[in-house]
Amino acid sequence: MLVMAVFLASCTAGWRAPMESRSERPGHYPSHESRKAPIRAGASHYRVRRGDTLYAIAWRANLDFRDIARWNGIRSPYVIYEGQLLRLSPARAAQSRTARVARRDTTAVAPGKQEKRPAGGVKKAPPEKSSQQKNSTARLAWVWPAKGRVVSVFKSGDPLNKGIKIAASEGSDIRAAEAGKVVYSGSGLIGYGQLIIIKHNEKYLSAYGHNRKLLVEQNQRVTKGQKIAEMGRANDGRPLLHFELRQHGKPINPLALLPRR
């Protein structure tokens, strides 16, 4: 039995569990130690911690998740690992070497043979896909995520006012402002309470913070206007929703896209 225990320990010592597929159960509050603060502006690297997802890391760093994936050679479905060191800015020298290798490989392809590109190579997306992405962006028609009074507005460059706050009664319905996929559902980000982040397309993400109860899980698809949470209380005890919109990872004014009341 002792030999068997040593054998099992040696087999599992180097195994790392993927973290991107991990999601928190709706209504589950992690310990204070597991909650994560914003990543310092200008940070060049980040060490992945337990409970991290690529989307949440990008959100905390005010970056586009696709940029982080590209800089680190991570492909969809964007699996990351505890202890992994992620680059938060492009490596220009490495990019130049990659481009030179890609060009050399392209010229070396024999006639009549199909060219093979490395993952994350320099080949541009076909025009059809680019057109589809543009049409997808054009079709977005935002709706208000909650009924209530706007008590705080967006202020560019202000880390405390990256979105708007809508006040109503506790337990009020929180609804998806557009259709999309839930890429975060939990309470691991400091300052947001129980938070939901939805990816709408390759351009836009929306976030819904300070919820009392989460009704959707990570990787779940939602429709526009679908109830996704119940309104909770902010850090000062007021019942309200913190709502953010991000364009290519950067906070933008939600009032510029929401319909006029």
For 66-106, what is each residue's pLDDT tens digit?
999 999 999 988 889 999 999 999 976 444 455 444 445 44
Domain 149-256 has CATH 3.40.1790.10: no
Which residues are CB-neighbours of 171 under 8 A, at least 6 positions away?
A: 212, 230, 231
Q: Which pLDDT score is estimated for 38?
A: 80
Q: Is the pTM of this model over 0.85?
A: no
3 state SS of 196: strand
- Give me the mean pLDDT over the 120-142 stretch: 52
So what's the pLDDT on residue 150? Answer: 97
Can you give the residue ranges of every domain in the chain? Answer: 149-256
Cα(41)–Cα(255) distance, integer angstroms: 25
Whole-angstrom CA distances from 83 to 45, 50, 86, 106, 245 are: 12, 8, 9, 35, 30
* Structure tokens that stand for 244 in this block: 């953010």
3-state DSSP call for residue 24?
coil
Which has more pLDDT, 236 or 178? 178
Beta bridge partners of 2: none
Neighbours of 71 (CB within 10 A): 18
Is the pLDDT confidence value at 30 over 50?
A: no
Other Cβ atoms within 10 Å of 145 Cβ, number: 27
DSSP designation for 69? H
pLDDT at 248: 93
Report pLDDT digits (tens) over 179-232: 999 999 998 888 899 999 999 999 999 999 999 999 999 999 999 999 999 999
pLDDT at 35: 62
The number of CA neighbours under 13 Å toward the Cβ of 135 is 6
